[in-house]
């Protein structure tokens, strides 16, 4: 029983993510269309797109097809593992299976999958995309890590359920570090979910999808699926870390409040994506560098109890 | 008179090297010179008299005068004068001094003359193949009169490959095109990249060259060609249509009736409106700002509808015949057009206001794709690219045609030399176009649409016409001929010159800026390549091999 419950909970989380991810993508597309005075695809279109791609011929192309296949499976697996570790309306199901350090590792692994995919494709454009992705990762990944570490410092714990519960505000004094990190994460969230203005490594009009350019059929479907899931999971992480209020309510209420907050975040992502032009890689890196500096200040503040 | 004054200055300086001259009317000057003096005269005209280079033309004149002809066209924009400096060359082994080291903008035109006519520009530093396909045999020149329009050259070699230049030390090669999401047409750039920086590039284009000029000289008639000319380009087709008609009219000294001139002006401006809105949208798409892309295309759509109402087509208006136009603007359309312009103005004003304040777009476009005054001069850049560098040229004002001499409008210039300035120029020109159409609707007088031309057009006369396309000046050169068709017709679309400025514009820039820099000249490859045809007769899809396709193109089916 002790083993079964976390596994069932984890599976439930995975199921929720898999079911909801295309829905949120559909909402995102619909709202984008409305902003652009278009009718847009039906809200369920993303499900059909995935089904269609999954049913297509599985073409082996690119430099090393084996690595390409591996990159996709790894991407999907990583995202789903993260899903098991993040509370989604309930407590984190596999709480005992890992700590926040594992979470930080897994989040980094998501980015590494894109690098692998780009390397496996081996074309000039995918390599360019890979180098851009690498630069982005180096300056971006520390931000989420710092946010989690700030929470860990405040609560003196690495436990998932303790840290992923608005812990960034859990200092004795006014939580300056938490507030600063909230700002930093809001400003960089677009980059974590790889949307305009930070879809630099895939930039269709420059790099023709970059690392993904050799992908087609089922493999492309899985990669796209992983990306959609990423939007949900990062939103869930953001909500548990920074907007914990209301999650403690009675079952259907708390759960609904949680998903309403996630939906709100997706809406924000959509609005930003629809009203911005893509940044150039050097501009983006400079932007991230400033955020990183601010985040480090927050870390120092946190270690002094603010 | 300006033309006379320029001619006497040339005669003073070069004396007997000026063989004869022709001043057919206001704004045109044809000077025939000694081949040996051609380069010096062009240098004098380009550098000392500060004329703008337009294009060079080669023609096979052997059946008529027993000689080849080369002409370099220049424009004196401030003095409303288009001039052509021509020379005749001996029939065997024709050679002419290259002017490309004193007029860098002539680089492509001279290579094209070398490819298609077989006149060697002596002293050209980079005489690589430009227009002809890779497998085309050397020494066969399709625009010569003894080469039939449907002839297949002996020794065509499918396997021959184009030899690219060696990339500079330390650079990797990034192939850009022939097919790329931001290129709507095939063209190939070999970019030399160091990290994310572009250090240089080589261009291989002309992939959709179909020999439209050859077709015009050998099978079409005067009034067929406007319809063909229109199909040179899918965006600024009407420009080519009007420019051709005007070139023939200027050669034959015909003046279309005033109502026709107003209708030409209206259609040209409708085309400019649709093209500018389309381009602003595309530029936004390239930098990833899809919302404005969609909005500006939505605003553009009614323009397409009104064009359809007038001409029966959203594009390809089939407007001109020699001496007039084919469609009238009825009172009903007039009203509708007025309403549409009001709506367009009301919708476009807030967009321009929003865009000009948007920091985000400026970040991607300011200081990007720099084309300064020197580059504009040397490469003969035209249109919004020139105007964004503060070069105040616009054929509508400088070389007025159709009804533009009776209209009041401003030429928009900016000083930034970059993509951002080009965005501003084109966004603001929309308002000028609206103004122009309104004036046309006001001033348009009743009268016939076409001139009745009873006699044959005079033979062997030269005609020039420059029309300001949305992307810049489109220039047509015509030599009238026998059998109801011209002897030679040369089209120079604005992209032909603007594309030559691209290597300098993208050098030492980020790779990410390459697409928007290229997009900022609004490249039209089929204009440059001249003519692309698609057969829609059968709906059957078949995958053709290259051999099959070649076979198909070479066996004539009726």
- The structure tokens listed for A238 are 């953001």
In the three-class reduction of DSSP (H, G, I as helix; E, B as strand; rest coil), residue B194 is classed as strand
CB A286: neighbour CB atoms within 10 A? 12
Taking an 8 Å cut-off on Cβ atoms, the answer to whether B289 and A283 are in contact is: no
Domain of B251 in residue numbering reads as 212-524
B259 and B356 co-located in one domain: yes
Q: How many domains does chain B have?
A: 2
Best CA proximity match to B512, nearest among A189, A112, A187, A204: A204
In the three-class reduction of DSSP (H, G, I as helix; E, B as strand; rest coil), residue B71 is classed as strand
Residue B283's pLDDT band (boundaries 50, 70, 90)?
A: confident
pLDDT (average), residues B251-277: 93
CB < 8 Å to A125, chain B: 174
For residue B516, pLDDT beyond 90: no
Cα–Cα distances in Å, from B522 out to B165, B281, B414, B498?
26, 11, 17, 9
- The structure tokens listed for B409 are 């409008």
Closest chain A residue to the Cα of B295, Cα to Cα: A36
In A127-146, the residues whose Cβ lies within 8 Å of chain B are: 128, 131
Looking at residue B361, what is its pLDDT? 83
Q: What residues does B189 pair with on adjacent strands?
A: B176, B203
| Complex confidence, ipTM | 0.78
Distance CA B553, CA B532 (A): 13
- The structure tokens listed for B264 are 């030409």
Taking an 8 Å cut-off on Cβ atoms, the answer to whether B287 and A277 are in contact is: yes
Q: Report the CATH number at residue B419.
A: 1.10.645.10
Distance CA A85, CA A78 (A): 11
- The structure tokens listed for A175 are 């939580």
- The structure tokens listed for B370 are 């720099």
Is A275 in the B-facing interface, judged by CB distances under 8 Å? Answer: yes
Q: Is residue B555 part of a domain?
A: no
Query: Which of B101, B130, B163 is the last residue before a domain boundary?
Result: B163
Distance CA B518, CA B506 (A): 8
For chain B, give the number of residues.
558
Distance CA B428, CA B191 (A): 33
**A265 CA: distance to closest CA in chain B (Å):** 20
CB B235: neighbour CB atoms within 10 A? 20
For the sheet with B488-492, list strands across it: B462-469, B472-479, B488-492
Looking at residue B544, what is its pLDDT? 55
Q: Report the CATH number at residue B19.
A: 3.30.460.80
Q: Is residue B134 part of a domain?
A: yes
B158 and B218 co-located in one domain: no
Do the strands B95-97 and B67-76 form a parallel or antiparallel pair, or are they unpaired? unpaired
Q: Is residue B184 part of a domain?
A: no
Distance CA B271, CA B429 (A): 12
> φ, ψ for residue B397 (rounded to 5)?
-95, -40
Looking at residue A5, what is its pLDDT? 79
Residue B552's pLDDT band (boundaries 50, 70, 90)?
A: low
Looking at residue B529, what is its pLDDT? 64
Pair B246, B465: CB distance under 8 Å: yes
Q: How far is CA A232 from the centre of its chain?
A: 7
B154 and B235 co-located in one domain: no
Q: What is the mean pLDDT of chain B?
A: 87
Residue A126's Cβ-side half-sphere holds a number of Cα atoms within 13 Å equal to 18
Closest chain B residue to the Cα of A280, Cα to Cα: B512
Distance CA A140, CA A122 (A): 24
Q: What residues does B61 pair with on adjacent strands?
A: B67
Looking at residue B532, what is its pLDDT? 37
Q: Is residue B168 part of a domain?
A: no
pLDDT (average), residues B108-115: 91
B109 and B251 co-located in one domain: no
DSSP B93: S
Estimate the crossing angle of helix A65-85 against helix A100-121, to 10 degrees: 160
Distance CA B354, CA B348 (A): 10
Taking an 8 Å cut-off on Cβ atoms, the answer to whether B288 and A199 are in contact is: yes
Distance CA B36, CA B97 (A): 7
Is A38 in the B-facing interface, judged by CB distances under 8 Å? Answer: yes
For residue B44, pLDDT beyond 80: yes
- The structure tokens listed for B411 are 């030429």
Q: Which residue has the higher pLDDT, B477 or B356?
A: B477
Taking an 8 Å cut-off on Cβ atoms, the answer to whether A283 and B174 are in contact is: no
User: What percentage of chain A exceeds 70 in pLDDT?
Assistant: 95
Looking at residue A42, what is its pLDDT? 93
Q: How far is CA B482 from the centre of its chain?
A: 26
For residue B360, pLDDT beyond 90: no
Taking an 8 Å cut-off on Cβ atoms, the answer to whether A203 and B288 are in contact is: yes
Pair B414, B445: CB distance under 8 Å: no
Q: What residues does B45 pair with on adjacent strands?
A: none
Q: Is residue B557 part of a domain?
A: no
CB < 8 Å to B364, chain A: 277-280
Closest chain A residue to the Cα of B293, Cα to Cα: A36
B222 and B142 co-located in one domain: no
In the three-class reduction of DSSP (H, G, I as helix; E, B as strand; rest coil), residue B32 is classed as strand
Pair A221, A53: CB distance under 8 Å: yes
Give the global pTM: 0.84
B320 and B424 co-located in one domain: yes
Pair B293, B279: CB distance under 8 Å: no
Pair B115, B129: CB distance under 8 Å: yes
- The structure tokens listed for B118 are 């077989």
Q: Is residue B54 part of a domain?
A: yes
- The structure tokens listed for A247 are 């999650």
Residue A56 makes CB contacts below 8 A (sequence gap 6+) with A216, A217, A218
For residue B536, pLDDT beyond 70: no
Element (H, E) at B472: strand B472-479
B222 and B154 co-located in one domain: no
Looking at residue B71, what is its pLDDT? 94
Domain of A120 in residue numbering reads as 4-303
- The structure tokens listed for A210 are 């970059």
Is A39 in the B-facing interface, judged by CB distances under 8 Å? Answer: no
Distance CA A148, CA A303 (A): 13
B152 and B218 co-located in one domain: no
Residue B265's Cβ-side half-sphere holds a number of Cα atoms within 13 Å equal to 33
Chain B interface, Cβ < 8 Å to A? 172-175, 180-182, 196, 284-291, 293-295, 298, 360-361, 363-364, 510-515
DSSP B314: S
B350 and B283 co-located in one domain: yes
pLDDT (average), residues B273-278: 92
B136 and B234 co-located in one domain: no
> CB burial class (10 A; 0-12, 13-18, 19+) of residue B337?
buried
Distance CA B242, CA B218 (A): 21
**B115 CA: distance to closest CA in chain A (Å):** 33
B158 and B216 co-located in one domain: no
Looking at residue B533, what is its pLDDT? 35
CB < 8 Å to B511, chain A: 128, 206
Mutate to test the interface with A, among B182, B191, B280, B512 (most CBs of A within 10 A): B512
Residue B115 makes CB contacts below 8 A (sequence gap 6+) with B129, B130, B131, B132, B141
Distance CA A194, CA A190 (A): 6
For residue B81, pLDDT beyond 70: yes
Q: How many domains does chain A have?
A: 1
pLDDT tens for B135-145 read 888 888 989 98
Do the strands B95-97 and B320-321 form a parallel or antiparallel pair, or are they unpaired? unpaired
For residue B539, pLDDT beyond 50: no
pLDDT (average), residues B383-392: 92
Angle at B406 between CA B403 and CA B409, to 5 degrees: 100
Q: Which residue has the higher pLDDT, A91 or B392?
A: B392
For residue B543, pLDDT beyond 60: no
Estimate the crossing angle of helix B331-357 against helix B419-443, to 10 degrees: 160
For chain A, give the number of residues.
306
Pair B339, B306: CB distance under 8 Å: no
Distance CA B98, CA B359 (A): 46
pLDDT tens for B395-441 read 999 999 989 999 999 999 998 889 999 999 999 999 999 999 999 99
Mutate to test the interface with B, among A130, A213, A277 (most CBs of B within 10 A): A277
Q: Is residue B545 part of a domain?
A: no
Measured between its terminal Cα atoms, the distance across chain B in Å is: 54
Distance CA A34, CA A28 (A): 10
> φ, ψ for residue B507 (rounded to 5)?
-65, 140
Residue B231's Cβ-side half-sphere holds a number of Cα atoms within 13 Å equal to 15
Looking at residue B531, what is its pLDDT? 43
CB < 8 Å to A280, chain B: 363-364, 510, 512-513
pLDDT (average), residues B184-194: 83
Looking at residue B408, what is its pLDDT? 92
Going residue by residue through chain A, which has 306 residues, state the pLDDT in tens, using 9 for 90 and above: 677 878 888 888 899 899 999 999 999 899 989 988 889 899 999 999 999 999 998 887 767 888 888 888 999 999 999 888 888 877 777 777 778 888 888 888 888 888 888 888 877 778 778 888 888 888 888 888 888 888 888 888 877 777 777 777 776 677 888 888 888 888 888 888 888 788 777 766 666 777 787 788 888 899 889 989 988 988 988 888 888 777 667 777 778 888 888 889 889 988 888 888 788 888 888 888 899 999 889 888 888 877
Best CA proximity match to A175, nearest among A306, A286, A67, A60: A306
pLDDT tens for B456-489 read 889 989 999 999 999 999 999 999 998 889 999 9
Q: Which residue has the higher pLDDT, B526 or A279?
A: A279
Which residue among A32, A37, A197 sits closest to B298, beta carbon to beta carbon?
Answer: A37
Cα–Cα distances in Å, from A43 out to A24, A30, A31, A49, A272?
9, 6, 10, 11, 20
- The structure tokens listed for B92 are 């065997």
Q: Establish, for the pair of chains A and B, how many residue pairs have beta carbons separated by less than 8 Å.
A: 76
Q: Is residue B95 part of a domain?
A: yes
């Amino acid at each position: 029983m002790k083993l079964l419950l976390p596994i069932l909970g984890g599976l439930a989380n995975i199921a929720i993510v898999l079911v909801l991810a295309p829905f949120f993508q559909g909402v995102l597309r619909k709202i984008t269309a409305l902003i652009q005075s278009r009718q847009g695809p039906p809200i369920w279109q993303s499900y059909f797109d995935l089904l269609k791609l999954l049913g297509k011929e599985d073409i082996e192309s690119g430099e090393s097809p084996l690595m390409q296949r591996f990159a996709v499976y790894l991407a999907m697996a990583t995202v789903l593992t993260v899903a098991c570790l993040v509370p989604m309306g309930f407590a984190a199901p596999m709480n005992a299976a890992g700590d926040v350090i594992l979470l930080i590792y897994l989040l980094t692994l998501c980015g590494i999958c894109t690098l692998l995919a780009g390397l496996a494709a081996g074309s000039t454009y995918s390599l360019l995309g890979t180098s851009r992705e690498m630069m982005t990762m180096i300056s971006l990944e520390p931000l989420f890590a710092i946010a989690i570490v700030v929470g860990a410092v405040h609560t003196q714990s690495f436990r998932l359920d303790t840290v992923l519960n608005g812990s960034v505000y859990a200092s004795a004094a006014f939580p300056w570090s938490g507030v600063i990190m909230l700002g930093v994460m809001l400003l960089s969230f677009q980059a974590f979910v790889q949307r305009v203005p930070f879809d630099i490594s895939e930039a269709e009009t420059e790099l023709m999808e970059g690392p993904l350019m050799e992908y087609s059929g089922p493999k492309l479907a899985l990669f796209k699926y992983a990306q959609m899931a990423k939007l949900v999971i990062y939103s869930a992480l953001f909500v548990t870390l920074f907007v914990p209020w209301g999650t403690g309510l009675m079952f259907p209420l708390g759960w609904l409040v949680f998903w309403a907050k996630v939906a709100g975040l997706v809406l924000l992502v959509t609005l930003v994506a629809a009203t911005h032009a893509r940044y150039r890689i050097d501009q983006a890196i400079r932007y991230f560098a400033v955020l990183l500096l601010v985040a480090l200040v927050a870390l120092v503040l946190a270690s002094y109890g603010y | 008179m300006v033309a006379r004054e320029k001619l006497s200055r040339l005669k003073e300086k070069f004396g007997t090297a000026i063989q004869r001259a022709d001043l057919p009317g206001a704004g045109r000057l044809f000077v025939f010179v000694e081949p040996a003096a051609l380069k010096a005269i062009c240098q004098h005209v380009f550098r000392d008299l500060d004329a703008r280079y337009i294009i060079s033309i080669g023609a096979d004149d052997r059946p008529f005068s027993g000689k080849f002809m080369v002409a370099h066209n220049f424009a004196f924009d401030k003095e409303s004068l288009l001039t052509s400096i021509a020379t005749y060359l001996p029939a065997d082994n024709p050679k002419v001094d290259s002017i490309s080291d004193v007029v860098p903008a002539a680089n492509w035109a001279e290579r094209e003359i070398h490819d298609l006519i077989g006149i060697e520009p002596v002293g050209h530093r980079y005489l690589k193949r430009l227009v002809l396909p890779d497998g085309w045999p050397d020494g066969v020149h399709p625009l010569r009169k003894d080469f039939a329009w449907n002839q297949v050259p002996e020794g065509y070699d499918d396997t021959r490959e184009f030899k690219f230049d060696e990339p500079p030390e330390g650079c990797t090669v990034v192939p850009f095109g022939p097919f790329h999401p931001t290129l709507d047409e095939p063209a190939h750039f070999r970019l030399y990249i160091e990290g994310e920086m572009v250090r240089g590039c080589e261009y291989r284009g002309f992939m959709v060259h179909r020999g439209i000029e050859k077709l015009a000289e050998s099978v079409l008639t005067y009034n067929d060609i406007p319809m063909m000319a229109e199909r040179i380009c899918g965006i600024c087709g009407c420009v080519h249509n009007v420019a051709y008609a005007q070139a023939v009219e200027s050669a034959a000294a015909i003046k279309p009736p005033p109502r026709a001139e107003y209708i030409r002006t209206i259609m040209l401006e409708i085309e400019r409106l649709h093209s500018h809105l389309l381009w602003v949208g595309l530029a936004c798409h390239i930098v990833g700002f899809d919302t404005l892309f969609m909005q500006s295309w939505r605003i553009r759509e009614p323009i397409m509808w009104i064009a359809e109402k007038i001409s029966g087509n959203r594009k390809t208006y089939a407007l001109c015949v020699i001496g007039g136009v084919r469609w009238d603007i009825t009172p009903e359309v007039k009203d509708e057009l007025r309403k549409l312009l009001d709506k367009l103005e009301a919708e476009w004003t807030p967009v321009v206001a929003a865009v000009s304040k948007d920091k985000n777009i400026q970040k991607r476009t300011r200081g990007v794709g720099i084309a300064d005054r020197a580059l504009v001069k040397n490469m003969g850049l035209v249109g919004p690219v020139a105007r964004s560098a503060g070069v105040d040229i616009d054929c509508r004002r400088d070389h007025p045609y159709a009804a533009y001499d009776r209209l009041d409008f401003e030429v928009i210039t900016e000083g930034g030399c970059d993509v951002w300035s080009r965005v501003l120029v084109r966004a603001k020109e929309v308002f000028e176009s609206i103004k122009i159409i309104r004036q046309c609707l006001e001033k348009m007088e009743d009268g016939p649409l076409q001139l009745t031309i009873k006699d044959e057009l005079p033979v062997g006369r030269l005609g020039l016409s420059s029309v300001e396309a949305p992307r810049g000046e489109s220039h047509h050169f015509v030599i009238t001929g026998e059998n109801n068709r011209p002897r030679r017709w040369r089209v120079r679309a604005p992209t032909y010159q603007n594309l030559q400025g691209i290597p300098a514009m993208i050098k030492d820039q980020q790779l990410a800026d390459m697409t928007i820099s290229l997009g900022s000249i609004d490249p039209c490859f089929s204009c440059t390549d001249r003519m692309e045809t698609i057969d829609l007769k059968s709906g059957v899809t078949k995958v053709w091999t290259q051999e099959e396709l070649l076979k198909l193109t070479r066996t004539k089916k009726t």
